[in-house]
Amino acid sequence: DVAEIEALYAEKEEKAAAAQQAAEEKAAEKKEASAGGGDWDTSGFSEDWGEEGERMKAYSCPSCGAELLCDESTAATSCPYCGNPTVVPGQFSGELKPDFILPFRLGKEDAVKALKEHCKGKILLPKAFTDENHVQEIRGVYVPFWMFDGEAEGDAHYEAARSRTYRSGDYEITETKHYDVYRAGAVTFEKVPVDASSKMPDGHMDSIEPYDYKELKPFSTAYLPGFLADKFDVTVEQSRQRADQRCEGTLASALRGTVKRYDLCVLRDSSVHLRRGKVHYALMPVWMLNTKWHGKDFLFAMNGQTGKLVGDLPVSWGKFWGLFAAIAVPLSVISSALVLLP
């Protein structure tokens, strides 16, 4: 009757309101806990370049605005980000001095070989992209990175299930058992990388990770001859959200990895508390080649230490339509001949 229906809906609305309030309280607690982890500690940064700064030049690209550093003997011929050939030398003025540098392990020959292998068999590539002279324009660039130290602590609730199917007489029976799974733990992390160059696509940098930090060296300009070094233009504060997401994601992945032997596992809710620690400034080795095709930029990037690569490849529509015609015309002739047959 009406009274029972009204009572039922009143109970449902009360539970919904309570659930909403609980969710808002939990979100507030999470925000407060995250704020309680403090900000990233940048007190260790150094602005004193000393005599090393006197042996360096700065290059500013008038096309894309990239600011690149190199040793005083380097004569730049093109910008690795946009391919502009008018890179003008200027007076170096240092901001922050990097803490670490990861030297190139792979040389230009390795990068050229990897690029040729990457392009091999791709018949729709424009000739301008695979031209030998163009391939030789590949440049070694030290890309700036922020590296974050800290700890992530949290918990997670999962709904899990395990099913089995068996026959009983004429019936096929599926039995499903449901489980409430809880996990909690902490992960300590060191040098979580976030690239500090707005000109380098984040997807490219994520794709060529990881780097082997065992070869990380204290910064010295002795590693720069023959290479360019990009100056950071994304601050630590601007990188904070991405760093937090990577740290939280690492903990979430670690917790989820302990939930095993279930046919189904769905996350119900979770919470993460970050203890933010030191931030380091480092330069990482990347081989780069930029190509412009019909007004669009295509970037090839290779990890200068491990050889892992990623590349955007243009398509020559002239070759595409030529190939299409080469296939379509014979098929059309065959079709016409079959139609004419008695």
Q: Render pLDDT for 146-202 as a digit per residue (tens, 0 to 9).
A: 999 999 999 999 999 999 999 988 999 999 999 999 999 999 989 999 999 888 888
d(CA 104, CA 94): 23
d(CA 13, CA 8): 9
Could you tell me which residues are beta bridge partners of residue 326? none
State the average pLDDT over residues 326-332.
Answer: 55
What pLDDT, on the 0 to 100 scale, is given for residue 317? Answer: 46
Are 165 and 306 a contacting pair, CB within 8 Å? no
Are 303 and 211 a contacting pair, CB within 8 Å? yes
pTM of this structure: 0.70
State the average pLDDT over residues 281-307.
Answer: 84
Strand 67-71 and strand 88-91: the pairing is unpaired
75 pLDDT exceeds 60? no
Q: Which amino acid is at 52?
A: E
What pLDDT, on the 0 to 100 scale, is given for residue 320? Answer: 46
Average pLDDT, the chain: 79
What pLDDT, on the 0 to 100 scale, is given for residue 324? Answer: 45
Strands (E), the chain: 56-60, 67-71, 88-91, 100-101, 139-168, 171-195, 217-218, 228-230, 264-293, 296-303, 309-311
Residues making up the chain, counted from first to last: 342
d(CA 217, CA 103): 8
d(CA 297, CA 82): 7
